[in-house]
Structure 1
């Protein structure tokens, strides 16, 4: 999706709180003098001598096997051109972040101040002892062809220029499936390629390897059709020079079966599109504006099969579907190259994966009931958790089969499990939630809109179309803050102080709800001036779809108005609070961490039900441990007694639920120890991902300790059990945390609306 990026936001993101986007984190403990002696002198001499005897041991004793160099000279950066190596560094850091996020690969980015191809090649070649692989990036054509080609010949580690081959691999997978959809054969179709840069040449090369015939390909550059009678053609373009006596794009696309655009926006006209053959395949990959706008193309012909480079249209050709997983597979078998067999294996794996049933978690993330193979689903979605297992294993196997692997994999199923655990597909939980929110944005009322963080979050929510903010507070103050913060936030602002008629209406509704609980009309009028009460009443009356508050107020005072006005779901006796904790070990759900002080057995059963449902809502299969200070009755007391009883009742009510307790936290989280010590437990053989605490103090202390000293990221608190979406922020939440909570609130509101329709 094309987002509005403000200069200040982008600069702040890259400069605060720490300049840049990456850091080096030690993987070994360095707590004692002994640790330091092992890590450096004198202990480090031992692996040094081992490697000196056998260079292959560098993969055993150093990080080389999981380290990729992202290397550029800054001569063709994004759409910015030759801006130099220093200016390219933010892009290279960003590429490193994607490697880590999607494939668990570490990266050093290296920007080289050298435009001479021969010198650049020498420099990169000299870095071979450091890296397990080289990702070349943003090097201008035609030099990029020479650089990559010679480095592949000279180096014994994988080298790939992703700008070329990433696009080629993803678009090739899409092409294979598009041809299947329209019932055409690759060897028979006429292909027009608009653009003759590195990506266009690489795509065309790969199409030919898949069976396309050169005689059926017409390529254009900025001067028009590349013909064999043109002077001064470089070797790369000359390979695709046509004998046809045509010069322009309209002439080239007439009766063409496929158009591949890697050029500039809006160069393909509706008339051009209409002149193409039946069931045309159009890959308009220029960004941010495709060669023909998606909406225009779809309205021009109803038989078109189309892909773009944008995330707001079907079939996004996104390189992130390829390069992290290709390098992952190559590194894991210590491949000496990324060869054609490995690229084609990635193409086939992507194409075949698209035809498999799509996990519900992916459908939810993209806000679609079902996603299935067809003209609007030619390649997998970028957030599909199956990508790493499917693509990396296919690439690794192709490396072994083609003889470029120095390592081997014996158990492919175990390898796939290791891949999923390496990055933890569940780490993308927020990405999936945000994607789902964007499919159907809802109105979110913010009760503390005169806060700087709220306004910045509201701007982000509005820009990215995650939700529709409604701001409560003093209008003059809010507008002044918007101006001071250099925002261009345009959304509804409501100051309850001036809403005389609405306050009277809300007060009457409140009185009807609370008159048998001691409430009066005067009290209602007074309370409706409180923004938490006013916002809750907006939600209750349908003037908003979700409510967010609590940034600068205590939890009980924020929650109380919502409980009085909106209330608890029918059939439940209480609400509960849950935190999602994410760290290197995975994603975990903790409850109750914010609401119930000391729940009894019935209360714990309610919390179990709410949490189990919430974990499923986020796309996970709940494995619940009911925590205590004892293990299955090993100690006596109120806590072991009530937790064991709650588990017993839960098992009787929900026989399919995976739950056990009472159990200590360390045992619950140690799968092997639990299986060895208590093999009878219903949790034996499962990795626990959901922890139910016996009281508020234990849950609250646990999540706060994990946040502060456990190197964990927390999402929450997520309020469970309200009739309508109300979420209370943690005091002092960051802008990103508020934004994340807004996305959760929107998806919560979508689910609430769906329940009403059923």
Structure 2
């Protein structure tokens, strides 16, 4: 039985990966009067006077909504909200298993940006944070931007920022292996969707100065016609030499390749044209832009993919549980750039000098050090940047 067959069998057996479990026992009328009416009126009235008490008198402090519209589910594309539910349930399981966060899957039956924003905002009072998931670009940028303006709780599009944070951590340690400095490298990102753009912005925050974005039409360059607003914005801060051409042209002399695009687009000869000891992160899933063994044979010094069956898995599960744990612990109103940067440094810092090698630039997903380290760094960054409502106990 292969993975696909086993997954179908187990999903039918589970009949859902989540359930609601009560934290209180109701065994007699006294218990009922305390947990429900008439006693429950007292916390209701207290929250009416001070809405912040919803964090101490209800489970809101530890609850995240995982929300999709079903338009970009994994590599399957626009398959609809109902079909996205197994993924959202799975994401909620990861929140609980890795960071003891209660997460609720919500699959919304609309592709309208206004309806998405309005619906999610109206729900936000029930949660301590919002994890946007698998919403197609470029709509996802506007949905997140507008929700961050409206909501007083963190709104985080994991496909963008979780991916960027892990790539940042992986790059930091890969640079240690190769002896290169982040401010001196040339970096090429292939794939200019939500993940590619978020990665570009994050790597520039970390210190990358020379960065080029490519899509299926080649290098994105200032002044190009037909750019969408997200590409137009990035054209002003990337490809500062205004080069034009293909991915192959962009990679000549480059130090780093990051792929969030399509299987097989990175050829061995392209790696051979890169600078000495190139770093190659082909992250298309399940089939990467180039297979790791091919990349290494072509001269790559460090290779990381999105797959668990190769070394250096670049996986969002290293980021989002700890990030939300830290944000919830200090009741942060946002997950800002300072918190994302802190998360990258925390993840990279888990790998000791003794552990660091070309096949070990990131911790494994089940490394117990990850969530506490990331949560602590994120909470401290939230406090320092002024978005935390409480100090962590």
Shift of 1:298: 1.3
Residues 129-528 of structure 1: pairs in structure 2 closer than 5 A: 129-213=125-209, 216-241=210-235, 242=239, 243-301=241-299, 304-355=301-352, 372-409=355-392
Match of 2:25 among 29, 47, 51: 29
Shift of 1:314: 1.3
Match of 2:12 among 8, 15, 19: 15
Query: Does the CA-based 8 Å contact 1:217-1:240 persist in structure 2?
Result: no
Runs of 4+ aligned residues of structure 1 deviating over 4 Å after TM superposition are none
Cα distance in 1, alignment partners of residues 337 and 259 from structure 2:
23
Cα distance in 1, alignment partners of residues 141 and 123 from structure 2:
19
Shift of 1:356: 6.1
Query: Does the CA-based 8 Å contact 2:178-2:301 persist in structure 1?
Result: no
Query: Does the CA-based 8 Å contact 1:186-1:212 persist in structure 2?
Result: yes
Query: Does the CA-based 8 Å contact 1:218-1:240 persist in structure 2?
Result: no
Per-residue CA distance 1:349-396 (angstroms, 9 max, x = gap):
111111266xxxxxxxxxxxxxx1122111111111111211111111
Shift of 1:229: 3.7
Per-residue CA distance 1:44-85 (angstroms, 9 max, x = gap):
111111111111111111000000000110111111111111
Query: Does the CA-based 8 Å contact 2:255-2:274 persist in structure 1?
Result: yes
Query: Does the CA-based 8 Å contact 2:282-2:304 persist in structure 1?
Result: yes
Residues 16-95 of structure 1: pairs in structure 2 closer than 5 A: 16=13, 18-95=14-91
- TM-score, normalised relative to structure 1: 0.50
Unaligned runs of 5+ in 2: none
- The secondary structure found in structure 2 opposite 1:128 is helix
1:119 aligns with 2:102: no
Cα distance in 2, alignment partners of residues 4 and 281 from structure 1:
32
- TM-score, normalised relative to structure 2: 0.96
Residues 340/28 of structure 1: CA separation in 2 closer, same or farther (3 Å cut): same
Shift of 1:90: 1.0
Q: Which moved more, 1:35-44 or 1:169-178?
A: 35-44
Query: Does the CA-based 8 Å contact 2:169-2:362 persist in structure 1?
Result: yes
Shift of 1:269: 0.8
Cα distance in 2, alignment partners of residues 233 and 98 from structure 1:
36
Per-residue CA distance 1:543-571 (angstroms, 9 max, x = gap):
xxxxxxxxxxxxxxxxxxxxxxxxxxxxx
Per-residue CA distance 1:668-701 (angstroms, 9 max, x = gap):
xxxxxxxxxxxxxxxxxxxxxxxxxxxxxxxxxx
* Paired residue total: 389
Match of 1:104 among 100, 103, 109: 100
Unaligned runs of 5+ in 1: 358-371, 411-758
Cα distance in 1, alignment partners of residues 7 and 347 from structure 2:
33
- The secondary structure found in structure 1 opposite 2:258 is strand
Cα distance in 1, alignment partners of residues 12 and 295 from structure 2:
41
Query: Does the CA-based 8 Å contact 2:220-2:244 persist in structure 1?
Result: no
Cα distance in 1, alignment partners of residues 290 and 11 from structure 2:
33
Per-residue CA distance 1:556-615 (angstroms, 9 max, x = gap):
xxxxxxxxxxxxxxxxxxxxxxxxxxxxxxxxxxxxxxxxxxxxxxxxxxxxxxxxxxxx
Shift of 1:307: 0.8
Cα distance in 1, alignment partners of residues 168 and 58 from structure 2:
36
- The secondary structure found in structure 2 opposite 1:108 is strand
Cα distance in 2, alignment partners of residues 118 and 355 from structure 1:
46
- The secondary structure found in structure 1 opposite 2:149 is helix
Query: Does the CA-based 8 Å contact 1:164-1:199 persist in structure 2?
Result: yes
Residues 646-661 of structure 1: pairs in structure 2 closer than 5 A: none
Shift of 1:230: 2.3
Cα distance in 1, alignment partners of residues 248 and 190 from structure 2:
11
Query: Does the CA-based 8 Å contact 1:267-1:292 persist in structure 2?
Result: yes
Cα distance in 2, alignment partners of residues 97 and 219 from structure 1:
34
Cα distance in 2, alignment partners of residues 295 and 180 from structure 1:
22
Residues 152/42 of structure 1: CA separation in 2 closer, same or farther (3 Å cut): same
Cα distance in 1, alignment partners of residues 192 and 346 from structure 2:
27
Cα distance in 1, alignment partners of residues 257 and 181 from structure 2:
15
Q: CA RMSD in A?
A: 1.4
Per-residue CA distance 1:332-359 (angstroms, 9 max, x = gap):
10000101111111111111111266xx
